Amino acid sequence: MNLLSKLSVGFLFVVISAAVFAPWIAPYSYETQDTFNTLATPSLNHLMGTDRLGRDLFSRLIYGTRVSLFIGVSTTLLALFVGTIYGAVSGYAGGRTDSVMMRFVDVIFALPDMLMIILITVMMGRGVSGVFIALTLVSWVTVARLVRGEVLRIKEYTYVEAAHALGSGNFRILTQEVLPNILGLLVVTLTFRIPVAILAESTLSFIGLGIAPPFSSWGTLANEGWQAIKFYPHLILFPSLAIFLTILSFNFLGDGLRDYLDPRNQARFG
């Protein structure tokens, strides 16, 4: 893998550690108020400064990592799971089943997705579960389409025919022959979809419709910073930077993985 991908893995490792070990890393709790030091600029006491209520931004950012990362990873995993099953069944079954199943996917695909995410989140009551459901409902169709395309291609191969001839059932063929062959695609899709989910969640929270207090994600912090951008730009700088660098790392990692897993790329065998 190239240098950028390796750097990205390093950065993501730091981010994930921050999320997992938040209580041990964060110098303050996410709600401790330093009332003599409100809206402080970055200093040794408060690495990223403090917000309007005197809460330490560095600590809040670390706790925010938990929410942002959890939503990004969990919605993507669920969407991947649902989408893979749906797409694999649809592609493998073919014919009428396939066209009916795909018609449904097309309709969901035609929905203006961000609008639906806003609508579902607000209707479900703002919070982690609302965002989670909204993101999953909208994003599984992309996976379903991708997987269906791959399954359509793979099921024509002679090794699938051979498995048929040897008497394997459909379930066995799907799990033993087809799925292992789309694993690479799934890994790459996972890497590219996580940043999309993180982006959607942070956008939602940024406009004030996503994660509600007492929880705060990076997007919520960016929203708080936005309200004070004219005089205290550091409050929005750090959350924005966290979002941007995380998404960037996932994209670099995805590019690297795609090249690495590409069968036409012989470098890894050398």
Partner 1 sequence: MLKYFFKRLLHGIPVLIAVATLTFIIMRLVPGGPFDEEKKLPPEILANIKAKYHLDQPVITQYLLYLRQLVQGDMGPSYKYIGRDVSDIISDTFPVSITLGLLAMLVVLGVGIPVGVWSAYRQNSIVDRGCVFFSTLGISVPSFVLGTLLVWLMSHELNWFPPALWEGPRHMILPALALGAPFSGYIARLTRSAVLEVLASDYIRTARAKGLTEPIILFKHTLKNSIYPIVSVVGPLTAGLVTGSFVIEFIFSIPGMGSFFITAVTNRDYPLIMGVTLVYALLIVLANILVDIIYMWLDPRVRV
**Footprint of partner 1 on 148-177 (CB under 8 A):** none
Determine, following the binding rule CB under 8 A, whether residue 224 of this chain makes contact with partner 1: no
Determine, following the binding rule CB under 8 A, whether residue 128 of this chain makes contact with partner 1: no
Determine, following the binding rule CB under 8 A, whether residue 232 of this chain makes contact with partner 1: no
The residue (of 51 and 177) whose beta carbon lies closer to partner 1 is 51
Q: Whose structure tokens read 């022959």?
A: 177
Residue 84 near residue 147 (C-beta atoms within 8 A):
yes
- Taking 3-state DSSP, the helix, strand and coil percentages for the chain, each rounded to the nearest 5, stand at 75, 0, 25
Can you tell me the distance from the alpha carbon of 3 to that of 217, in angstroms, rounded to the nearest whole number? 30
Q: Which of 158, 230, 267, 269 binds partner 1 (CB under 8 A)?
A: 230
Backbone angles phi, psi at 50, to 5 degrees: -125, 160
The 3-state DSSP class for residue 55 equals strand
From 15-23, 93-101, 181-189, 205-213, span contacting partner 1 (CB under 8 A): 205-213
Determine, following the binding rule CB under 8 A, whether residue 202 of this chain makes contact with partner 1: yes
Residue 65 near residue 56 (C-beta atoms within 8 A):
no
Residue 74, number of CB atoms within 10 A of its CB: 16
Handedness of CA 199, 105, 109, 208 (dihedral sign): negative
Instruction: Report in angstroms how near the CB of residue 32 gets to partner 1 at its nearest.
Output: 27
Residue 124's alpha-carbon distances to 66, 133, 157, 218, 219, in angstroms, are 21, 9, 45, 21, 19
Determine, following the binding rule CB under 8 A, whether residue 91 of this chain makes contact with partner 1: no
Determine, following the binding rule CB under 8 A, whether residue 107 of this chain makes contact with partner 1: yes
Q: Which of 53, 99, 106, 161 binds partner 1 (CB under 8 A)?
A: 106
Instruction: Report in angstroms how near the CB of residue 92 gets to partner 1 at its nearest.
Output: 25
Instruction: Report in angstroms how near the CB of residue 209 gets to partner 1 at its nearest.
Output: 7
At 161, which amino acid appears? Answer: E
Tell me the site size for partner 1, rule CB under 8 A: 38
What residues make contact with partner 1 under the rule CB under 8 A?
106-108, 110-116, 118-120, 122-125, 195, 199, 202-203, 206-207, 209, 222, 226, 229-230, 233, 236, 240, 243-244, 247-248, 251-252, 255
